[in-house]
Every structure is written in C-alpha cells, then in structure tokens.
Amino acid sequence: MELHSNVTAMAQQQPYNPWALPDSFTIYNFAPEEIRSFLHPHWHNQKAPHPMMYYFFGIIYLVIGVYQIESASQKSLNIRHISLFN
C-alpha cells in the first residue's frame, strides 16, 4: 500500500506533464479506491493507457464522424438529383 500512495504523492508534487508518466502507474492505481478490492490481480501489474490516448481517439472519432456525415449528405443529394431528372 505504501507504493501506491508514493506514486500518487509523486504525481501530485510534479507539474502536469502528460508525456511523463511513472512506469509504476498501473490500472490498479488509476482505479477509484472503492473498487480496487474487486479488481482481479492481473490488473495490479497492467500498465494504464497513456492519458493522451483519449484525446487521440477523440480526434480520430471526430474525423470519422465528419467524414460519415459529409458522405451521407452527398449520397442523399445525388439520389435526389437523379430522381428529379428521370
């Protein structure tokens, strides 16, 4: 338990730098205190995903969503255009 509190204290004392995570930052450390007793021991050693990954996937989903909306609107315009002149 001492190791977990040291990692938290170390993270709180340093300025926020999303590119510099300690190697000991695991999913177990990332989980809220009230659910840690329910976690399987496998997750005690599993490294947590980098916090910047959430922003990366958000941008990817945004680009895919805009592309889907644009392509759907172009298809609907093409269908109306064809049906008007037939």
Q: Is the pLDDT of residue 41 over 70?
A: yes
- Enclosing H/E stretch for 68: helix 52-84
Q: Which residue has the higher pLDDT, 44 or 18?
A: 44
55 burial level (CB within 10 Å; 0-12, 13-18, 19+): exposed
- Look over the chain and give the mean of its residue pLDDT values, rounded to a whole number: 75
What mean pLDDT is predicted for residues 68-78? 77
Q: Is the pLDDT of residue 66 over 70?
A: yes
What mean pLDDT is predicted for residues 42-46? 83
**What's the number of CA atoms in the CB half-sphere (13 Å) around residue 43?**
13
* pTM greater than 0.75: no
Pick from 1, 42, 2, 49: nearest CA to 25: 49
44 pLDDT tier (thresholds 50, 70, 90)? confident
Domain boundaries, the chain: 1-49, 51-86
